[in-house]
Every structure is written in C-alpha cells, then in structure tokens.
Structure 1
C-alpha cells in the first residue's frame, strides 16, 4: 500500500526515522533481537505493500501497537511504550458498543476527519473567528468562536458518552441536587462537541462536580481511543491468521500514547482530579494500583495536621482554605494508565494515557531529559486553577504550551502505518481540545485562550460582575492615567506614580503629614513591585518596610510590628504575598493600590483591615486606586461591570 502524504510530510517522516536511527543510546526503530520483548514495529506477520502476496503465519500472532495498549510482558506486568497488543485488554462491557461515523469523537479525532482544512487552519492562525453571544443552559452566557457559525442554539449539542459510563454516571447524579445535575449535563454536552471551553468564573461549591464531569469526558475519550485500537488489532490478527490482505484503514493512534494532560498548581489538586477520575471507576469493577503511594506522596505526610482545614471559622477566607489545604508542593508529574480493570498510577510517561502535572514539574522533567515527545500526541488539555498559576510563574505554563503537539524527535518504536494522517501533517494542535478553568480572568489567561487553534471552535463563558462590598463611608478615589500602547503601560504607570509634575499620588501624599504615615502600597505585578521597591530604596527620606512572597516568617513578623508600631511609615505589599499568606495587617490608615488587584476580594480585605484597630472611623481611611484602560478585567471585578464601564468612558472623555 503506497502512502503519499505530500513532500512536506515525507520529509518530516524521514527526519523522524533518521534521528531515531542515529542515536545509539536509544532503541532503534527497526532493530529486532530474538531474545528481547516484542517491538511495536514488529511486522513479521503483516505486510503493507502493493503486492497481494500473503505473509507467512507465525506460530503466535502478535499485532503491533505503537502506543502499548494492552501490552504485557511474560510475567503479566504492563509494558511501557513497546510490546504486543491483545484484545483481552478491552473491557468486556464495552466491546459491543460501536463507534459510529456520526460520533463526535470519530468526526473530530478520526483518521478521516476533514476539520483541519487549509481554510479553517488559516482562520485559526490569523484569529479571524466568527463570534456571537448566546446561552448554554446552566453554564450561562457564553461567547462562541467558530470558523463558520451555524444556526444559534440555546442549548449545547447532545453528549456522546459511552452507555456503560453514562449509566454509572446517572446513578451518581440521582443523589445530587438538580442544579448540579443540570450543570454537569450541560458541561458534558458542550465538551462533547469537541470545542475548547474556557470557564472564567467557577464558584467554589461547583468546582469538584465540574471536575467529575470533565474527567468523565476525558475517560470517555481514552476509552473510545483504546477500543478503536484494540478492535483494529483484532482485525489485523484475524487477517494474519487467514492469510488475507491486512486492512488498510488502521490509522488510529498518535506518535506516543499519552493523550490527556491535566495541569494543576499543587499536589492537592492532583489528588482532587484523581478522585474525580476514580468516581467513574468504582471498585470492585476497577482497581486503583499504587493508590496508597499516591495518597502518601500527594496528600499530607503521616501525622501532619492541616492548619488551614482545622482553623476556626473566620480565621482564613474560604477561597484561601480551598486553595491551600492539603499538600501544596508545586513540582510534580505522574502518569496514569487505564487498562481493562484498573487505573495504574505512576506509569511511565510513554506508557500512560493521562498525565497529571504542575507546569514547573513538567518543565523540569522536559529540561532534564531534553525531550518532550510524550506531549506530541496530547488530544485533550485541561488547565485547572489558572488564577493560581498566574500567581506562581506563568512562564512555566507558556513553556509547556510551546511543547505541546510538536513533531517528536525520536520514533519511540512507533508504527507509522497506524499513525493518523493529521499527526503526520503536523495538524494536531488544530484538533486538540483545551479546557481552561479559572476563578477570574487575567490578561494572561485570556491570552492563552486567544492562542488556541481548535478548528472545531471554542467557547468562553461571560459573566456580569457586581461591585464588591466595602465598609460604608470610605471614600474610594480611582485615579486614571492615559496610555495608548499596552507595551508602554508599565512605564507610564511608574512615571505617573512618581512624577512630581503629573501625579496626584505619591508626591502629594508626601506633602501631607497625615497621609504620609500608616500607608500601605499594594502592588499587583511582581515586576512593578521590584521597580517600586528599588525606587523606595533610592529615596533616603522614605521610611518603609516590605512584605513579599520571598519574605521569611521572621521578616514578616518584623515588618508587621514595625509598621503597626509606627517605626515605618510605608509598607510595600505584593499581591503574591497576600495570595500565599493572607495575613491581616493592622495600623493601616491610607491605602494606595498601584493597580487594581487581580483578586477582587483582596481589595475588600485591605479596606476592612483598618477597622481591626479600635476607634477608627471611615473618615480616617483614604483609598486611591491607580488604573488605565488596560486594567478593565480587574476594574470590572471591583467596581462591577457597569461601574468599570463608567470609569473607562469617563477617562476616555
């Protein structure tokens, strides 16, 4: 069978083979040792050629499967990315369920999909999407982006979850409130369209149920993919036994096996996503292998007490408790393999189906191995708690995104005759489904959504915000500075803040005996914080102290005492410090927000801190917020959608 994918694909394919063969330290793509375990590309019994001559029938039929689905060694242990596949790995309950041509999975991820056409890819690259606003059931108002819009609908398309999984899921839903059931069903229906989904505001009460619905969609994806591979294995084996021509339509895999990537900020969230996954694989039907080890490494150490989870009511805000309870290590990665009756944790990357990782842990692994081939065939990306990831290091997220769906550097024993054509054409990024979850939007998270290229389209939720609650009587002064170019925004903000001639902030504050003491300067951006900190250090007339994410417990204690006792007139606080520590600051009488905080609740909290002290009246407290038109997302969460619109229009006028 001659395969012609065009000159570009031919060059890419030959490059992969040549690179693999020249690396002597790696497994060669065509070498075979009689004493070694079966290789994925072992084709002794299957011949793909234009001639009709039958191949010899071996004593034991072994069907190549480049991704190791169903592979077992002679001791019955699961192999990594090499070995022979058998249909015994297919769950018996699902064997009778056929994937129809109309199934959304087959239409989107099938070998014959026509979605990544030149026109659609051009629209995705140039970001010339057609868009409209509509409503998706309990998901609420959304903005749809598509290469070509169809007739508008008020409900998402029908979900296509496998019958076995759907029945089990509905049994779980029978014990849930109606509102959550409807939300999960609308989520599944939206995800079933294979569009990208960006949820920009996820209430705490709904988050775990959202994860369960998303993991059901992911499990459905993995199961359909695995079932297609195993049924093709059976067809090839049957053709080999009967000396008939091997089937040609067996393009059913990617370069490597992993197809689902879940990015989360802390180990505790990996534990929550595993719980969401195993809720659809209950015992005794499934076994979770290495579960005790996972609980030990991703939960709290034995004997440890979670101070947040056990804190008295009101000591910490609920969102802080939900974010930081449990194991908050931010460097990890773990592979999960789905087999017939088990969920195998800690599988090696090239032999797993799902990867849970933090951006930092994944980046360290890639840079150490100097290889990210295990990300070449990711078909579904899930990024949870994006707001927390922006408070860590967003560059790690950008690095991982740059490594997704790239052509691999090595073959990894892949059988290229079974790789889907659109992988060979380098179009995987145009079909990958991305699911993004955040408590609130930032320019970074919106930028990531805008960069997605899924030609099936994408959906962004849209909410109207109400003004945050602040103590009555406090005068809030929103001070706007003009900026025509977002690239100049940081310089313009700093100049407006410090310039004697133009600013109504720091120079005027220093002229007031009342406002030049007991003053907190809250800086959202870490880069701006460093800049302001350096400016204060150069000013010998400014008595100040600092609270940043790098402050030690001893530094924090000294700074708080010095500020509250009046020894330091100014306190510089970074938003990351407050995000990670959430300390209550006493002694505040004047607040300067160098920019609106990303987290609107931080604004409310700082305006309430002066009243921790006795005898403080609202008239004793001043508040100034420096902003530009590029702070729209932050302003909207603080002043409300209507209030922020008024502020932007007022400044424009």
Structure 2
C-alpha cells in the first residue's frame, strides 16, 4: 500500500541539499518512496554544534519523548513493534516513516555502487526500512532473526569513513592555500574543525571470530569495487587467525546450536583497521586505526577495570559509530564486559596527540556521547538489552527500537504436560531476586518430587540456591558453565540413577552444552529462559513416562521472557489476572 508522507524536513545546516542523481533499485516488496531532496546526513549530524541549553537538557534526560508506531501511522516495519525515542534536539530530519531511497541519504556515489554490486539484488523492503534510522545517524536497537543488515552497516561505515577522509583532505588543501597566500584567518581555521580527540571512529563488537571475519570481508567489498586494484594488507594472517578453522558442531544438536557453534568460535580477539588510498591495512595499532574490531572479552582485557593503573581507554575517546552485533550471544558470554566498554566510550583522553585546532568544538567540550551513534542487533529480546539501549544511548538525533513481534511457541511442545504458573508480587525490579527465592523455598521446593530439574537462568540465583541446598542438606546435583566435563558426566549419571533427588542447571550451561538430561520427570523454571526456544526444548527432552509436571515462577518484570514463549495476548492475561496461579494442560 502506498504511503502518505509528510513533507521532508530539511536540515538547518546552512546548505542547500542537491537533487540525488543516483537511481536506487527497489524490490517490488519495498515501501513506496516519493522523490526527496538528497540530504547530507553526515554533515547535518556531525557539523552541527548544539546550543548549551540543548546539551544541558540532553545530559539531564529532559524533553525525552517515546512514540510507538502503530495503527494508521505504521505503514513501515510491518510485523515489528517500533518505538521512536526523541530528545527534543530538532536539528535534522529524524522521521523514519518518511521513507527515502538509499540514494537520497547524501551517500558517496562510488560507495553506493559498490554496495549494489556486492548485494547483487534490489534493496529489500526490510533493508530500506532499517536504513531510514541508520542513514539518519539515529541509534538503533533491532531484535530480529534477520541477517540482511550487515551490508547496510558496512555501507554506512564506509560512507562515514570516506566522507571523513574527503573532508580532511579538502580542509588540508584549504589551510595550505590560505597559509601560502598569507590569508589564513581564525574563521578559516575554525571552519576546518573536522577531527576527534583520537583517530579511531568506528567500533564493531561481536562475540566470535567468525562474525568479525564476515564483517571485515563485507567492509572490504564495500570499499573496493569488483575487479578494482586494491590491497588488503596482512590478509593471509587474518585468514589464518579469523577464517574458518573446520570446526563443525555435532549434528545431534539443535539447528540453532549448530549455526552458533560451527566455524571459528574464538571469543578473545581485537583488530585495528586503517583506511588508506586503495588499501585497507589490517592489524594496525589501535591508536592509529580508523575501525576497531573486537570481542567484548578481547577489548575488556585492554581497558581493564576502573581504578587500575595503565588502563588503555584513550583510543575510545572519539568513537562516532559503535556496532554491537549478535548481542544475544554476547549475553551468554559475559554481559558485564560489554557494559564496561560502553561506559568508557567518549571519555576525555589522558593526553592529546592531535592538532587541537582541527578538533570539532563538541569534541573539545566532551560532548561526544551526544553525537555517537549506537547500533545494536540481537536475535532475542531480553531485559538487559533494553537497559543497555536505554542507558548507553544518548544520541541527540534520538533512536529507534525495533522488535520483531513474538509468537507463541506452545505449539512446539510435543509431550503431555501440566504447566503450573506461579506469580509472585514485586513492585521494584531490584527486589526480584529476594522475592523469587522466598516464593520458591516456601511454596515450590517443599512439594518437589525426585527426578526434578530446576532451571535457573541467572548464575547469581544459581549460587544462592546451591548454598541454600547445601545448608539444608538437600539431595541435589549441579550443572553450570564452569563445571569440568568429568563432574558433568558424573552428575548426569547420578541423577539418572536417582542417587540424588534434584538437579539444578543454569541457562548458560544449556546454551553451551545442550545435553539431554535423562531422568527428568518434573521441571521447575525458577525463572523463564532468556532464549524462549529453551522452554519447549527442555520440556520435549524430558523422559517422563506419563504427563510431565512443569512449574514456572514469574513476576510482572518477566514480561519480555514470557512474550517470547506465550505471545503477547496470553502474557498480558497472566500478568493482569487477579489469580496468581494458573494451570495449562496439554495432551
């Protein structure tokens, strides 16, 4: 259906946008676009100096708006729940429903051409919709199983770096000419502010080496046209370290496990990339690189902990675009590493090694976090992801949260099942752990039979339960991500032979191992899993000879976990119902 659009907002940057001369291919499924004036969003975003009262409000979090796209206004992002977060800093067009073609974002023509040649097919509707936010330099949190966004990220990054280099070269020539003719003025010097406090501008974070490998190759394909003479320095070393190492996950594991754990799954890496004319230089020192590629673990080993001596964080002072990819996998590694990295971005370096006269005014005023664009991609929605988006994104252009609408997964249950749902009252999220523990020990634990598995997503909750079970001298075994293989095998055998009454397992253990635990006749979800597929996966793998008993403990703060399993309508009913106890019986 064709869209009705408001008139395009034109950035107030003192320039007259030029008509786009590129013709953008679009798939038949792509949303309709009307002709716009091409807007240079790079210039509109980074060459705008925010007024003091605006930055003050940004720092205070004032004037924030939250708009959900739905009903008649939601003619884009079909199948997704979309929330636009505004800041009140109205400087350039941030209307993501005013659909522009790729060629109307003021991108470098050669970069767009390389992108099109690499993609080899028209831009899809979903790609075009997503680029409405990316191309406008807005923050994005995208929860979807789609994998078509990597070309868009690289298009955006390569355009950003190309514009940066062109601007610096142009200003170098302007300054040289003015100096040679003895006409250099303060106004000319001030107009040539085009750099940050340090060189690196892009940070790409991913959990595994294979993800970094795909990113670097997509980046190179966007920088260089097919057949164009170019150099990718240290390519052999890169392929040896980051390329496919022949690792193939067991075919007995679920498909999603095979996809994640096949290939080069190394999780400790970092790589600096420098843009040069006709070349991409890999393995550059971080303070001499333009693009930083790292895993959260690999980068955390450099930046260290707050208060440590010899911390290396200066190179993160002028990051302008940060990409967090495969966030759902990162959440199963160590989420704190990612949080620590986000906290130190755009700080003040301990020493300056640049010409201060070339540094942008907003960078000298330590306002980099208000200009930084953050792009987060995850296949799963979870509370920590939403908190990261809310707390780490301060972009004055605002942001867009895009979440694929969850569907009920109950139809995937293959076993006769009695599901008990126990809701406990909780008014503050920080009280969840205590109240959940109290409810479990009083109302659930005394009624559990032998053969019960207790599934615990949080390792901290797991430690608490383990200590309590030991204190009460209860008969139990444990499976957690730090357990050695021999102890795991012994625990599984002892549980199967009923030498112990309970077995307590963490979500991370299940994520990394995906073992079938034999002997399970009753299940307790101390909290629902982050990955909704684990719910029916654990139920279907049980060995109950008759009907399996399953118990779920939840509060209103588990809404995201519940929606992923039961869908939105049933989740709303369970949370809003007067009854705190529900039973579902399936054959």
Coarse TM-score class (shorter-chain normalised): 0.7 to 0.9
Q: Residues of 2 paired with 1:124 and 1:544: CA distance?
A: 50
Equivalent in the alignment of 1:236: 175
1:485 aligns with 2:428: yes
Q: Does 1:538 align with 2:484?
A: no
Match of 2:494 among 553, 562, 583: 562
Counterparts of 1:259-338 in structure 2, within 5 Å, are: 259-282=201-224, 283-301=227-245, 305-308=246-249, 311-312=250-251, 315-338=252-275
Give the deviation of 1:127 after TM superposition.
5.6
For 1:137, the equivalent position in structure 2 comes to 76
Of residues 574, 583, 586 in structure 1, which corresponds to 2:506? Answer: 574
In structure 2, which of residues 238, 258, 280 is the aligned counterpart of residue 343 of structure 1? Answer: 280
Structure 1 CA distance for aligned equivalents of residues 118 and 483 of structure 2? 46
Match of 1:393 among 325, 334, 356: 334
Shift of 1:538: 1.8
1:374-385 alignment, distance < 5 Å: 374-385=315-326
8 A Cα contact 1:271 1:298, kept in partner? yes
C-alpha displacement at 1:439, in angstroms? 1.4
Please give the alpha-carbon distance, in whole angstroms, between the structure 2 residues aligned to 1:455 and 1:124: 10
Give the superposition deviation at 1:466. Answer: 1.5
Cα distance in 1 for partners of 2:263, 2:419 equals: 37
In the other structure, the counterpart of 2:139 is: 196
Q: For 2:217 and 2:94, how far apart are their aligned partners in 1?
A: 38
1:497 counterpart residue number:
440
Q: Name whichever of 480-489 and 360-369 sits farther off.
A: 360-369
1:250 aligns with 2:192: yes
CA distance in 1 between counterparts of 2:96 and 2:124 reads 20
CA separation in 2, counterparts of 1:640 and 1:286? 50
Kept in 2: contact 1:192–1:217 (CA 8 A):
yes
For residue 373 of structure 2, what is the aligned residue in structure 1?
433
CA deviation after TM superposition for structure 1 residue 155, in Å: 4.2
Name the structure 2 match of 1:454: 395
Change (3 A) 1:115 1:462: farther
1:123 deviates by 4.3
SS in 2 for 1:198: strand
Q: Secondary structure of 1:426's partner?
A: coil
TM-score calculated relative to the size of structure 2: 0.84
Q: Is the 8 A contact 1:268 1:298 kept in 2?
A: yes
Structure 1: how far apart are the matches of 2:216 and 2:381?
Answer: 26
1:365 is aligned, of 283, 296, 302, to 302
Q: Which residue of 2 aligns with 1:15?
A: none
- Structure 1 segments unaligned to the other structure (5+ residues): 1-99, 510-515
**Match of 1:172?**
118
User: 1:477, CA displacement in angstroms?
Assistant: 1.0
Aligned to 1:25: none
Counterpart CA distance in 2 for 1:390 and 1:269 is 15
2:212, 2:294 within 8 Å by CA — same for their partners in 1? yes
Q: 1:500-537, CA deviations, whole angstroms, 9 ceiling, x for partnerless residues?
A: xxx1x11122xxxxxx1111000010100111111112
Question: Within 5 A, what are the aligned runs for 1:84-163?
Answer: 102-110=39-47, 113-115=48-50, 117-119=52-54, 121-123=56-58, 125-126=60-61, 128-134=63-69, 135=74, 137-138=76-77, 140-148=80-88, 154-157=97-100, 158-163=104-109
Shift of 1:102: 4.7
Contact 1:212-1:279 at 8 Å conserved across structures: no
Are the structure 2 counterparts of residues 101 and 187 from structure 1 closer, same or farther at C-alpha, using a change threshold of 3 Å?
A: closer
Q: Aligned partners of 2:491, 2:467: CA distance in 1, in Å?
A: 17
Q: Secondary structure at the match of 2:577?
A: helix
Alpha-carbon contact 2:197-2:352 (below 8 Å) kept: yes
1:117 to partner: Cα distance: 4.7
Structure 2 regions of 5+ residues with no counterpart?
A: 1-36, 581-587
Question: 1:20-57: CA deviations, max 9, x gaps?
Answer: xxxxxxxxxxxxxxxxxxxxxxxxxxxxxxxxxxxxxx
Q: Which of 554, 571, 576 does residue 644 from structure 1 map onto?
A: 571
User: What is the SS of the residue equivalent to 2:222?
Assistant: coil
Question: What number of residue pairs does the alignment pair up?
Answer: 521
